[in-house]
Every structure is written in structure tokens, then in C-alpha cells.
Amino acid sequence: MTTENIPGRANDDLADAARRRFVSSLAAAAAVPGLILQTVAEAARPADQPVTDKVRWGLLVDTENCSDGCDACVTACDKEHNLEGFGRPTTDAQWIRTLTAKDKRTGRVVTLPMMCQHCEHPPCVDVCPTGASFRRADGIVLVDKHICIGCRYCMMACPYKARSFVHETIHDQKTYAPRGKGTVESCTMCVHRVDRGDNTTACAEACDRAGHQAILFGDLYDPDSEISRRMRERDVTQIRADLRLNTGVRYQGI
């Protein structure tokens, strides 16, 4: 595996062949039917200040702390955004899922959470015909449900299969996370928390509570942030770094 220790910046030159092979096999494994699908912080933006490109919010996942069989992050995300299930796991909305993937070359198995990677160059935004899919100045990628026409181009364009289409009428919505039948949605990096000045996400908080500390939220641009400090300490990987999307979600231990 290789290093990538420049937080928040495109650094594809550091992605070597070994990592690409492993990550490619990881992505391929995630697409195979039958694959086992099985916190912390710095000061966030004060709520009375506008979104700025002076920060780039991101998540760092330490797969060595991610516990096989644990779904605390998934459960917390579902609860936070009221992602109710309709008994149709292949189509029910899911903003975060846990993957267990095996490197075919080495036999090594890793468990990791997969959500929208909040790409700096998001294909989902490029293909959206209405502008509903957009990236904020602070790096968070969102869908404007009022503009989304449900064409699902973004779902096809996303290399991480991170987006869900809402097939059902939604009840009991959270006011901070509006959802709508016939629209597309994905992880918002708990933007409602960010915008009120919180310094963690529901998944990272739950992971902490479960005692694993596998997910860390923070500002990738701030060299003094905890997330930046940890990214300097150990090798960091972007899933499918070969696509040069400069993801806001980074991984360690793979």
C-alpha cells in the first residue's frame, strides 16, 4: 500500500500500482452479487457564517479499527436521517453500507464503511441535467430535492454506487434532511450538523460510542486538525484513486 499524506489535495502521483490493484479488486468485489454486505474533531463552521472554500470537510476511516459485523455507523445514519426500510434491501435507500472485501492476491480481508466519497470532481454533478446534484464550497456534495427529476443519471455515473433512489412515499421526515419519492439521495456528511457548528457526524459519533474510533470527521485543509494530523502519521488511500476524483473520504489500513 502507498502513502498519500497531503490532506485534501489531488496527489495521484503517490498512488502506486499495488494500491491501484488492491483498490480495483476492492471495487470489483463490491460489485459482485453475493458479496458480504455486511469520532473527534475540530471546531466546525459557526452557524452564522457562510459556507467557505477555506475548509474542506472530510472523513478518515481507519479500517484497522473497523470491526467485522459491527453496523453502528449504518444504524446511526439510518436513525439520524430516518431512512426507514421497506423490506426491499436491494432498493431501500442506504447512505452508508459496510463492505467486507478480500484482496485476491494476498487473501487479506478488510471491513470498511462505504458512503458518498464527496469527490472534488464529482461525476454525479457533471452528468446532472438540472443542477440538482451540486458540490458546496466546503466540499460536501448534495442533491437539491426540489430540482431533482429522478432521472438517475447520477446513480449511473457514481463509481461508488453511493446514491439511492427513493421508490416509496416517505413518512416522518426529519426537517433537516428532506427526502422525496422519485428523487435521488446520498450521504450528506451530516450537513445539518456541520451547518449548526457541530464537529462530528452521526456515523463517527456512533463508531466512537461503540468504542472503535474508526471514523474521524474534520477539515482536510487545516494542517492542525486531528484528521490532518492522523493523515500525516500513516498511509492514506482514496478508493479508486485512479479516477482522480480527489475524494473527501479517505481510508487507512488498506
Q: For residues 191 and 142, is the Cβ–Cβ distance under 8 A?
A: yes
Please identify, using beta-carbon distances, which residue of 229 and 244 lies nearer to ligand SF4: 244
List the interface residues with ligand SF4, window 162-201 (CB under 6 A): 162-163, 184, 186
| 57-62 and 249-252 strand pairing | parallel
d(CA 178, CA 100): 31
Least distance to ligand SF4 from the beta carbon of 208, Å?
Answer: 24
Pure H helices in the chain = 17-31, 72-81, 123-127, 153-157, 191-195, 202-209, 226-233
d(CA 113, CA 99): 6
d(CA 123, CA 161): 12
Residue 114, strand partner residues? 97
List the interface residues with ligand SF4, window 63-82 (CB under 6 A): none
Please identify, using beta-carbon distances, which residue of 119 and 202 lies nearer to ligand SF4: 119
Please identify, using beta-carbon distances, which residue of 184 and 208 lies nearer to ligand SF4: 184
Binding mask 150-169 toward ligand SF4 (x if CB under 6 A, else -) reads: xxxxx---x-x-xx------
101 binds ligand SF4 (CB under 6 A): no
CA dihedral 177, 183, 188, 192 (to 10 degrees): -20
Count residues near ligand SF4 (CB under 6 A).
27
148 binds ligand SF4 (CB under 6 A): yes
Least distance to ligand SF4 from the beta carbon of 254, Å?
Answer: 17
Q: Residue holding cell 444504524?
A: 75
Please identify, using beta-carbon distances, which residue of 7 and 123 lies nearer to ligand SF4: 123
Least distance to ligand SF4 from the beta carbon of 46, Å?
Answer: 25
137 binds ligand SF4 (CB under 6 A): no
Please identify, using beta-carbon distances, which residue of 40 and 148 lies nearer to ligand SF4: 148
| CA distance between the termini of the chain | 7
Nearest to residue 241, comparing CAs of 155, 138, 124, 121? 121
Binding site residues, ligand SF4, CB under 6 A: 116-119, 122-124, 127-128, 130, 132-133, 141, 143, 148-154, 158, 160, 162-163, 184, 186
